[in-house]
Amino acid sequence: MEGMTTEITESWYDSLIEDCRDIVVEHEFASRWALVEGYHTLGSRILSENDNFERSQIYGQDIVQRIAISLGKRPRTIYYAVKFASLYPDLNLLNEGKNLSWSHLINKYLTAGEDKPVKITPTEMIRQIKQLLQHEWQEAYQDHLLFQSVASTDKCDFIRYLQDQVERITG
């Protein structure tokens, strides 16, 4: 067991590590692309039923909502799958080819400016947290005045504690 702590410098070991790295990279790539292909196929399949949806008078978001619930997926995921298949009926039309993950594809090709999450500065985030805590404290305090319960008192105390911690961290 003493020899286990020393670094292995044998050529067979270097070869093993190189092969293992290649296997990991290859299969990570394959799994990312399989997910892209899967969502493309999903979107294409949903689009192929367009006439049936219209006959049933199910349109737009209602279709997405119903399918998402039935599949146990988020509506946004279904929406992106349909949009992807609609915009790119042929996967070969993607500029990056197969070198693209589902999340990168969504960010680069499927989200318009209004769909993308707005990035806020840390200062703005702290301001929003303080504002939220103040609002929550006011509601908890109103409950405390109305009900005089231990739970409402504990909630007020906890929110004050959080406010103090935010102040301590941010100065």
Ranges 35-39, 143-147, 153-157, most confident: 35-39
Confidence category of residue 45, pLDDT binned at 50, 70, 90: very high
pLDDT recorded at residue 1? 45
pLDDT digits (tens, 9 = 90+) for 78-109: 999 999 999 999 988 888 878 889 998 998 88
Domain ranges of the chain: 9-110, 122-170
Q: Which residue has the higher pLDDT, 93 or 17?
A: 17
Average confidence score pLDDT of the chain: 84
pLDDT recorded at residue 118? 61
Find the range with the poorest average confidence among 37-41, 71-75, 113-117.
113-117
pTM: 0.57
Average pLDDT in the 136-144 region? 87
Per-residue H/E/C for the chain: CHHHHCCCCCHHHHHHHHHHHHHHHHHHHHHHHHHHHHHHHHHHHHHCCHHHHHHCCCCHHHHHHHHHHHHCCCHHHHHHHHHHHHHCCCHHHCCCCCCCCHHHHHHHHHCCCCCCCCCCCHHHHHHHHHHHHHHHHHHHHHHHHHHCCHHHHHHHHHHHHHHHHHHHHHC
Confidence category of residue 38, pLDDT binned at 50, 70, 90: very high
Find the range with the poorest average confidence among 9-13, 104-108, 154-158, 162-166.
9-13
